[in-house]
């Protein structure tokens, strides 16, 4: 019971944070963002409180949660008083087609199956055991800094990752769970799908948005990780959502989208250290757009503040408190080795395109690129720029990384890092003019029938 109440309060906190962004009006989008901002914002505050000396217990975690909810209510009191569920005009609501109903039912089944698995099966993967173990140690010691692992014993390599994700898992154990920490992964997965669908449904037909959300859901490797306790899916949920809001800001020129993008991208840096590279790329691109438009300088300053403070504070903690440095993990002199680069690109191709890993995602993206090459779709170029720079960043990271066997690194770590790109390339593909036009014609035909 305490576990249910705790996560309901986290969701309430997230929903109150969403109210700071009135541009978010779609209910599916509000629910998805409430999960991301609720978990991410709450664990970040717990992290700062613990860093300042507060011991983490069931009582203090609930106390901080209630104080945060109270603070948000006080700041949003006028908005909350005026808030009301709008009464829909049934005459304006488009009747769902059979295809849309079928897709929704299939998506509900797929998410329900993963949820049931996460509630029943305990953590079993090796790396997932490390994160889950750290979560249990945090509960036992009441501290994010686990003294037992200071010796750098074998199997503790993921101490180089920021501790936000184990902290999120620890909430289940703080609130009485025995083995159900993977329910947090379910929340991240649901949030990823809801936000992706909502961001698509702004600009494309409902059928188009549902089909591409379905394609994202059934991506084999991603769906598999929705039942594992690893960091890749949660980091992808934050980074991809933030990147797409950055693209939406470029289209709409509303500063709230930019701030929302900064918060989400910044939170991704608390889950995986490599997300910091993409956060810096997004900051550079946003600054470039701002300079080219010669406006929004104040907005970009707040965006930079969100991204850098949220990302770098975790890195600072790793260096100062855990004495972790990633400098030895990279050798920039390797970047000049063209044979190494060619070998890495061959592995990248093998990982990206076989349908057993990421489905038909990258084939669909390649087809969309060809279509837009002939139609010269200018409105998608900002998103393509971000995708291209992200891809260049990941290639530089892996080309400069020190590892003994390239095949193992590429076939495991690189394969999972592509999660960052799945929502982005599917979004780009769905937004392709010819693709959406086809879906709209199908819907028009069904409506006439």
Boundaries of every domain in the chain: 2-76+100-322+351-448
Residue 244 and residue 420: Cα distance in Å, rounded?
A: 11
Cα–Cα dist 136/333, whole Å: 40
Q: So what's the pLDDT on residue 95?
A: 78
Per residue in 186-214, pLDDT tens? 999 999 999 999 999 999 989 999 999 99
The predicted structure's pLDDT at residue 89: 56
Structure confidence at residue 149 (pLDDT): 67
- CB-based burial label for 59 (10 Å; 0-12, 13-18, 19+): exposed
Beta carbons within 8 Å of 422's beta carbon, 6+ residues apart: 216, 219, 222, 236, 240, 358, 361
- Helix or strand (DSSP H, E) at 44: helix 27-51
Average pLDDT value for residue range 100-129? 89
Q: What is the dihedral sign for C-alpha 136, 137, 139, 144? A: negative
Instruction: Compute the distance between CA of residue 232 and CA of residue 168 in angstroms, rounded to an integer.
Output: 14
User: In whole angstroms, what is the distance from residue 38 CA to residue 73 CA?
Assistant: 14
Query: What pLDDT is attached to residue 415?
Result: 85
| % of the chain surpassing 70 pLDDT | 86
Its pTM surpasses 0.75: yes
DSSP character at residue 337: -
Tens of pLDDT, residues 17-27 = 999 999 998 99
CA dist 327 and 325 (Å) reads 6
d(CA 349, CA 343): 10
At 158, list the tokens.
């993921």
Q: Is 330 helix (H, G, I), strand (E, B) or coil?
A: strand
The answer to whether 33 and 195 have CB atoms below 8 angstroms apart is yes
pLDDT at 446 over 60: no
Q: Which of 45-49, 127-131, 390-394, 403-407 has the highest mean pLDDT?
A: 45-49
When mean pLDDT is compared across 105-119, 126-140, 300-314, the lowest value belongs to 126-140
> Which of the four pLDDT bands, split at 50, 70 and 90, describes residue 282?
very high
Q: Identify which of 32, 27, 357 has the alpha carbon closest to the alpha carbon of residue 224.
A: 357
Half-sphere exposure of 173 (CA within 13 A, CB side): 22
CA 141 to chain centre: 29
pLDDT per position as a tens digit, 308-365: 999 888 888 888 877 766 555 566 666 666 777 787 788 888 888 877 888 889 999 9
Q: Which long-range contacts (CB under 8 A, 24 or more apart) does 159-162 make?
A: 159/322, 159/324, 160/273, 160/318, 160/324, 160/326, 160/329, 161/231, 161/271, 161/272, 161/273, 162/269, 162/270, 162/271, 162/272, 162/273, 162/314, 162/315, 162/317, 162/318
State mean pLDDT over 399-409. 67
**pLDDT confidence band for 155 (50 / 70 / 90):** very low
What is residue 96's three-state secondary structure? Answer: coil
The rounded percent of the chain whose pLDDT value lies above 90 is: 48
Question: What confidence score (pLDDT) does residue 84 get?
Answer: 62
Summarize the confidence of residues 110-118 as an average pLDDT: 93
Candidate ranges 81-95, 319-333, 394-408; pick with highest mean pLDDT: 394-408
Q: How confident is the model at residue 444 (pLDDT cuts 50, 70, 90)?
A: low
Q: What is the pLDDT of residue 127?
A: 77
């Amino acid at each position: 019971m305490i576990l249910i109440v705790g996560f309901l309060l986290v969701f309430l906190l997230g929903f109150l944070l969403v109210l700071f962004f009135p541009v978010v009006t779609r209910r599916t989008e509000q629910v998805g963002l409430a999960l991301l901002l609720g978990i991410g914002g709450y664990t970040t505050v717990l992290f700062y409180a613990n860093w300042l000396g507060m011991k983490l217990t069931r009582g203090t975690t609930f106390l901080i949660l209630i104080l945060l909810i109270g603070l948000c209510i006080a700041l949003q009191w006028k908005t909350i008083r005026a808030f009301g569920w709008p009464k829909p005009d049934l005459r304006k609501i488009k009747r769902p087609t059979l295809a849309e109903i079928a897709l929704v039912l299939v998506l509900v089944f797929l998410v329900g199956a993963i949820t049931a698995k996460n509630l029943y099966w305990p953590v079993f993967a090796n790396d997932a055991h490390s994160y889950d173990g750290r979560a249990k140690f945090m509960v036992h010691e009441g501290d994010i800094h686990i003294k037992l692992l200071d010796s750098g014993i074998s199997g503790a390599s993921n101490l180089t990752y920021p501790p936000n994700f184990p902290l999120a898992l620890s909430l289940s154990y703080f609130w009485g769970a025995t083995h159900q920490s993977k329910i947090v992964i379910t929340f991240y997965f649901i949030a990823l799908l809801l936000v992706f669908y909502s961001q698509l449904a702004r600009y494309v037909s409902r059928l188009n948005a549902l089909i591409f959300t379905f394609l994202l859901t059934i991506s084999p490797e991603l769906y598999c990780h929705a039942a594992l306790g690893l960091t890749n899916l949660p980091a992808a949920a934050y980074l991809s959502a933030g990147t797409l809001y950055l693209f939406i800001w470029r289209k709409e020129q509303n500063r709230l989208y930019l701030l929302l993008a900064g918060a989400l991208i910044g939170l991704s840096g608390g889950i995986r250290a490599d997300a910091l590279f993409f956060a810096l790329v997004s900051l550079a691109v946003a600054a470039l757009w701002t300079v080219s438009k010669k406006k929004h300088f104040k907005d970009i300053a707040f965006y930079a503040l969100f991204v850098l403070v949220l990302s770098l504070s975790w890195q600072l903690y790793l260096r100062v408190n855990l004495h972790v440095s990633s400098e030895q993990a990279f050798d920039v002199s390797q970047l000049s080795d063209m044979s190494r680069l060619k070998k890495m690109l061959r592995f990248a191709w093998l990982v990206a395109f076989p349908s057993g890993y990421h489905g038909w995602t990258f084939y669909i993206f390649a087809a969309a690129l060809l279509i837009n090459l002939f139609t010269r779709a200018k409105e998608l170029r900002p998103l393509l720029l971000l995708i291209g720079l992200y891809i260049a960043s990941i290639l530089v990271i892996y080309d400069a990384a020190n590892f003994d066997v390239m095949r193992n690194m590429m076939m495991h770590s690189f394969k999972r890092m592509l999660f960052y790109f799945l929502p982005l390339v599917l979004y780009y593909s769905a937004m392709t003019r010819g693709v959406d036009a086809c879906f709209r014609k199908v819907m028009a035909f069904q409506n006439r029938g």
